[in-house]
Amino acid sequence: MLHGKNAIVTGASRGIGRAIAIKFAENGAFVGINYIKDYEMALETLKIVKNYSDGMLLKGDVGDDREAKRIVDDFVSTVKKIDILVNNAGIYKRKKIFELKEEQWDKTLRINLKSCYNVCKNALNYIHEGGKIIFISSQLALKGSSHGADYAASKSGMLGFMRSLALELASRKINVNAIAPGTIDTDLISGYSKKEREERIKEIPLKRIGKPEDVANACLFLASNLADYITGETINVNGGLYIQ
């Protein structure tokens, strides 16, 4: 589905980002794997990617504009153009508002939201007609969080940015969409006890916690030509947990 396409996935050393990178490679894309510090995990992602297609590592903090520019420049110096950009990099520290320090608020918004601006701004010179930009948001962007106001605010802001960018880039025939995952089996829920997992499963109509591959499948659809007439939309991948 993505043969001959070049894709950047931010935050791709593990979890959802890794699953997206692998799914893209399985479908023929050359994948730029961004990571900030965990080289061994990123290298493992690249090794899996190379079982199917090809790719490269892109080390750097996309929350920093200069590093985001360098990441984009390194990628296009190798492959010349960007067909798909997935903004996935993010952090979530689970702090209630009275525990949340200003530094943590600023860090969350820098990594989760400002990074999207940094990467998109620097990548747009290399994304042409038919290009796809995808944001990995969260169910908490839509319903809020009782233990992560900074995270929910950053992911909600991402959706506002996505819709605005969709309007701005429509004349260039570039599609811009988002995915809002529900409870997905990644590091973000690694602290769940057995009881907490069972209670969450009871709440989900499809009766299971999501897998990173569930999000990757939706991302593959949005990155492909099958989604050419979809822009400015958010796909909820949550097993029916928050049917609206």
The CATH number covering residue 21 comes to 3.40.50.720
Q: How many helices (H) does the chain have, and how many strands (E)?
A: 9, 7
Residue 243 lies in a domain: no
Torsions phi, psi for 162 (to 5 deg)? -60, -50
Average pLDDT over residues 128-151: 89
Residue 20 lies in a domain: yes
Residue 135 lies in a domain: yes
Total domains, the chain: 1
Residue 1 lies in a domain: no
Residue 244 lies in a domain: no
Residue 242 lies in a domain: no
DSSP label of 225:
G
Residue 203 lies in a domain: yes
Q: Is 60 left (phi over 0), alpha (psi -120 to 50) or beta?
A: left
pTM for the full predicted model: 0.93
Residue 33 lies in a domain: yes
Is 52 marked active-site? no
Q: Answer whether residue 184 shows pLDDT above 90.
A: no
What b/e readout covers 102-140, taking b as 16+ CB neighbours within 10 angstroms?
A: eeebeebbbbbbbbbbbbbebbbebbeeebbbbbbbbbb
Neighbours of 56 (CB within 10 A): 15
- Of 35, 117, 151, 242, which residue is the catalytic one? 151
> Which residue segment(s) compose the domain that 104 sits in?
6-237
Nearest Cα to Cα of residue 180 among 225, 140, 212, 129: 140
Residue 85: strand pairing partners: 8, 133
Residues 15-54 have pLDDT tens digits of: 999 999 999 999 999 999 999 999 999 999 999 999 999 9
Residue 95: which pLDDT band, with cuts at 50, 70 and 90? confident
175-181/234-237 β-pairing: parallel
